[in-house]
Amino acid sequence: MTFDAILAVALGVLHRRWRDGLARAITVAIGADALLTLFEGVTWNVPRIATASEWAVLALAIAAPIAAFVTLWRARVRGHSA
């Protein structure tokens, strides 16, 4: 929860004024979060899943940080014009 709050503030700051260093730090943090979420999902959640809706929730939980990472990475590569 604290990570998400800090990330929200950092993204707000980045939205107001692009800073390459901040964008890089956020991208690294989101990438680490995506890897950790994937690892946690595979090692902890998969053995406990019983229903299709649980699979769907896990898929969304894993896909969201990956999508955020790709979006910010592409913005950095494009020079944040997207």
- Please tell me the distance from the alpha carbon of residue 38 to that of residue 43, in angstroms, as a whole number: 9
Q: What pTM did the predictor assign?
A: 0.82
Q: What are the sequence ranges of the domains in the chain?
A: 2-77
Instruction: Express each pLDDT in 61-71 by its tens digit.
Output: 999 999 999 99
- Angle subtended at Cα 64 by Cα 9 and Cα 82, rounded to the nearest 5 degrees: 65
- Angle subtended at Cα 60 by Cα 57 and Cα 61, rounded to the nearest 5 degrees: 85
Secondary structure (3-state) at 20: helix
Instruction: Express each pLDDT in 2-23 by its tens digit.
Output: 999 999 999 999 999 999 999 9
